[in-house]
Amino acid sequence: MLSKRLVKAIGTPKVALVTGGASGIGRACAVLLAQNGAKVIVGDLPTARPRFDKWIGSKNLGVDFHALDVTNGDQWTKIMQEIEDKYKTIDVLVNNAGIYSQPEPTFLEQNEDYWRKYYSVNVEGALLGTREAIRLMKKSTSDESRSIINISSNAGQIGMPDLPTYCFTKGAVRMFTKSIALQVARDKSNIRVNSVHPGGVDVFQDKMDLIPVEQHAAMRVQIDSIMEGMHPIGRGAKPEDIANAVVFLASEESAFMTGSEVTVDGGYTAQ
């Protein structure tokens, strides 16, 4: 049975858009938001459609897929117009799409194209999505708050020597979240903006198709060992651990939270 945490008082579901929603954290967010009563749209690259069909579409949760390159402003305008035409409003935006490599090339080996790629996806994607969501959210007359949730990282809170560019982009998302939260609060627009900061997330399920079957067991052991040593809690995060925080921030249970950062990293940054 589906929960009704994300059903409005008038009985209609909250409308939620999740970027990068076909795999990993985004997939878990899309599924859990839908299971809690939201009408969910996944925005992801066209190449992600097979993953969406396999991991989300097959669950028959009524989640829709829209092709979206988060670095393209015209595509943001288009998807928001389609959402407005069909649902009149948007209640929740999860800016999840991002890129990451571990470890990065050393800083002196990185070039401008490398930096621009990280910036365009991890930062500009969140800027564009937030801007277009706010434009549509401000048209709502509902008494219930609207929620923008930016997926940052604990790498946006502390320095990590092997991830200078990733840390830069996720730190930018963290501070943008706080600033825009204050701006829309000042406007009395009933829009909340918060960030979620995961630690190491076990996305083995999404990598299985890329790894020969005979290597799965050894890879599973290797990932478990790395994650156990990394986090004081003794394991890596499941995508659903992050999605639980997102559902909370999307719901009215967090109605007094804005400009906040929710750290879900198994104690990593507490050390």
Catalytically annotated residue among 87, 100, 114, 166 = 166
Distance of CA 160 to the CA centre of its chain: 21
166 as an active site residue: the answer is yes
SS (H, E, C) the chain: CCCCCCECCCCCECEEEEECCCCHHHHHHHHHHHHCCCEEEEEECHHHHHHHHHHCHHHCCCCEEEECCCCCHHHHHHHHHHHHHHHCCCCEEEECCCCCCCCCCCHHHCCHHHHHHHHHHHHHHHHHHHHHHHHHHCCCCCCCCEEEEEECCHHHCCCCCCCHHHHHHHHHHHHHHHHHHHHHHHCCCCEEEEEEEECCECCHHHHHHHCCHHHHHHHHHHHHHHHHHHCCCCCCECHHHHHHHHHHHHCHHHCCCCCCEEEECCCHHHC
CA 31 to chain centre: 12
Among all residues, which ones are annotated catalytic? 166
